[in-house]
């Protein structure tokens, strides 16, 4: 049961059936109430017509025993004292009119008016002229037995002022059998038809949602196969429609493409890192093995250099891993000019022109950016490297320029990729691992800034770091 209603199709079908059921119940109740009210009005109209017909005969002076009364329906004529003076011949029992007598009496007696009318009503009706029929009609429900048949009736009560007999009250009933029969028939039809209609709604909703959700099931099946095969080059099928399912498929494929790119980048990163680590580790191992066999041949400076290189490479890889994991830049205020002067200190051929410009971020990461830019510039410069830090509107700008050969326009984005070196022919011992500029751009982006390269005014390359002011 839980698995069944865990299905979107089942929940959609159940929801549609519930909504239609509520709507049908409300509509059915409204129809029954309207039908009953309409039939009740018809019965009331018929009863009033009968009562006024008898009242017209009384107003014309027709004797009680000569009144034309419909024997199929209950009729009572009551005088001002509440005495039954005329009634239908076949009337055997009556209730709901206030007068339960069914046999007329010819003598006077009793006080009050028929139907339980009070003195105030008597005073109101005293205004009727002889031969006048009251325009107001009272209605009520009751029952009666006519010629051995019990039935429910709608009663109409009409008062008439006669010349010689005072005020008389006429009670006439119209059967509610037709109303009850129609309501019963309609109710039976609804109780029979509504379940069938709900079954049709459930079947149609089930089929429609099945058709609508078929692409979703295709997407789920393909995603399950991709997960099982770990083949991120596969894509889910995209419907030719323009609905939410098609947008879901497109978004899923975009996610798969981004995931494939990320995984491929990670694999390439691991492969490149392993390749870069192999060289200093192999060199260091060779030197240690030679030293173990021939201590007098130990190249201590070379071993230290390889160890330092290995340490720097491990630090770069660790920083890249932290940046990829989403490490934030921090919220400390850092003087970018002071950082530039500190990083340039002790480097030959580097001149600095820096004003105090504060930015928000990580001092260690910004030091790494400027240090990497200076290392790169010093590696490619012929004789001089210049560093400048200044304000430019809402930005802090740090520029590092060298007088080397510069960077070709086609390579100005490629050099910021990881493990990319444009001087592959050079010895690895002289060049870096190709991570410095990649780290610098990643850190700049994390700080909300940019890092670009262009031609320097005096030749060579000019790297421009732009960060928002604190």
Does the pLDDT value for residue 400 go beyond 90?
yes
Does the pLDDT value for residue 131 go beyond 50?
yes
Q: How confident is the model at residue 422 (pLDDT cuts 50, 70, 90)?
A: low
What is the CATH class of 328-468? alpha beta
Q: How confident is the model at residue 155 (pLDDT cuts 50, 70, 90)?
A: very high
Structure tokens at 354: 């820096």
pLDDT at 172: 93
Is the fold of 244-312+315-322 the same as that of 328-468? no
In percent, the amount of the chain with pLDDT more than 90 equals: 32
Q: Does domain 244-312+315-322 have CATH number 1.10.287?
A: yes
CA torsion sign for 158, 163, 167, 169 is: negative
Q: Residue 107 class from Cβ within 10 Å (0-12 exposed, 13-18 middle, 19+ buried)?
A: exposed
- CA dist 328 and 339 (Å) reads 19
Q: How confident is the model at residue 114 (pLDDT cuts 50, 70, 90)?
A: very low
Does the pLDDT value for residue 276 go beyond 90?
no
Give, in degrees to the nearest 5, the angle at Cα 90 between 87 and 92: 85
- CA dist 16 and 29 (Å) reads 20
Average pLDDT value over all residues in the chain:
84
Q: What is the mean pLDDT of residues 285-293?
A: 81
Q: How confident is the model at residue 123 (pLDDT cuts 50, 70, 90)?
A: very low
Does the pLDDT value for residue 37 go beyond 60?
yes
Q: What is the mean pLDDT of residues 73-79?
A: 92
- CA dist 184 and 309 (Å) reads 97
DSSP 8-state class, residue 129: P
pLDDT at 423: 58
Residue pLDDT, tens place only, 401-421: 998 888 888 888 888 887 776
Structure tokens at 195: 């379940």
Residue pLDDT, tens place only, 79-90: 988 899 999 888
pLDDT at 216: 85
Lowest-confidence segment of 24-28, 42-46, 110-114, 282-286 by average pLDDT: 110-114
Does the pLDDT value for residue 305 go beyond 70?
yes
Residue pLDDT, tens place only, 361-397: 999 889 989 999 998 888 888 888 999 999 999 999 9
Residue pLDDT, tens place only, 202-243: 999 888 888 888 888 888 888 898 888 888 888 888 888 888
Give, in degrees to the nearest 5, the angle at Cα 273 between 302 and 270: 160
Residue pLDDT, tens place only, 320-370: 777 777 777 778 899 999 999 999 988 888 899 989 999 999 998 899 899
pLDDT at 76: 92
Q: What is the mean pLDDT of residues 176-186?
A: 86
pLDDT at 118: 42
- CA dist 300 and 308 (Å) reads 12
Name the residue ranges covered by the structural domains of the chain.
Answer: 1-219, 244-312+315-322, 328-468
- CA dist 9 and 208 (Å) reads 9
127 or 145, higher pLDDT? 145
Does the pLDDT value for residue 306 go beyond 80?
no
Does the pLDDT value for residue 168 go beyond 90?
yes
Closest CA to 459 of 360, 377, 367: 377
pLDDT at 429: 46
């Amino acid at each position: 049961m839980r698995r069944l209603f865990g299905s979107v199709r089942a929940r959609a079908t159940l929801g549609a059936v519930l909504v239609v059921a509520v709507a049908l119940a409300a509509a059915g109740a409204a129809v029954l109430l309207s039908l009953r009210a309409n039939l009740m009005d018809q019965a009331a109209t018929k009863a009033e017509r009968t009562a006024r017909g008898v009242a017209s005969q009384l107003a014309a002076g027709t004797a009680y025993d000569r009144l034309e009364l419909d024997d199929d329906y209950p009729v009572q004529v009551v005088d001002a004292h509440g005495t039954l003076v005329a009634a239908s011949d076949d009337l055997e029992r009556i209730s709901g009119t206030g007068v339960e007598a069914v046999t007329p009496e010819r003598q006077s007696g009793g006080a009050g008016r028929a139907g339980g009318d009070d003195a105030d009503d008597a005073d109101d009706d005293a205004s009727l002229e002889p031969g006048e029929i009251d325009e107001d009609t009272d209605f009520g429900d009751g029952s009666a037995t006519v010629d051995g048949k019990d039935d429910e009736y709608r009663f109409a009560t009409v008062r008439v002022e006669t010349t010689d007999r005072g005020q008389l009250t006429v009670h006439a009933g119209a059967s509610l059998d037709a109303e009850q029969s129609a309501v019963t028939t309609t109710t039976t039809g609804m109780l029979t038809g509504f379940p069938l209609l709900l079954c049709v709604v459930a079947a149609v909703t089930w089929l429609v949602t099945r058709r609508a959700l078929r692409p979703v099931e295709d997407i789920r099946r393909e995603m399950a196969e991709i997960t099982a095969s770990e083949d991120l080059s596969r894509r889910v099928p995209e419907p030719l429609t323009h609905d939410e399912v098609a947008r879901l498929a497109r978004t899923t494929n975009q996610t798969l493409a981004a995931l494939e790119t990320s995984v491929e980048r990670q694999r390439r990163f691991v492969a490149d890192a392993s390749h870069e680590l192999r060289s200093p580790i192999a060199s260091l191992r060779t030197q240690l093995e030679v030293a173990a066999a021939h201590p007098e041949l130990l190249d201590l400076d070379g071993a230290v250099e390889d160890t330092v290189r290995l340490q720097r490479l491990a630090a770069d890889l660790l920083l890249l891993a932290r940046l990829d994991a989403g490490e934030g830049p921090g919220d400390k205020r850092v003087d970018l000019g002071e950082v530039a002067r500190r990083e340039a200190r002790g480097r030959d051929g580097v001149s600095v022109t820096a004003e105090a410009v504060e930015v928000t971020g990580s001092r260690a990461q910004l030091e790494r950016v400027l240090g990497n830019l200076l290392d790169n510039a010093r590696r490619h410069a012929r004789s001089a490297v210049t560093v400048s830090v200044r304000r430019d509107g809402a930005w802090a700008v740090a520029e590092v320029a060298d007088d080397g050969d510069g960077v070709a326009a086609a390579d100005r984005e490629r050099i910021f990729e990881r493990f990319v070196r444009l001087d592959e022919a050079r010895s690895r011992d002289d060049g870096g691992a190709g991570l410095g500029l990649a780290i610098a751009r990643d850190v700049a982006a994390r700080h909300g800034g940019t890092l670009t390269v262009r031609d320097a005014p005096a030749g060579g390359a000019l790297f421009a770091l732009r960060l928002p002011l604190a």
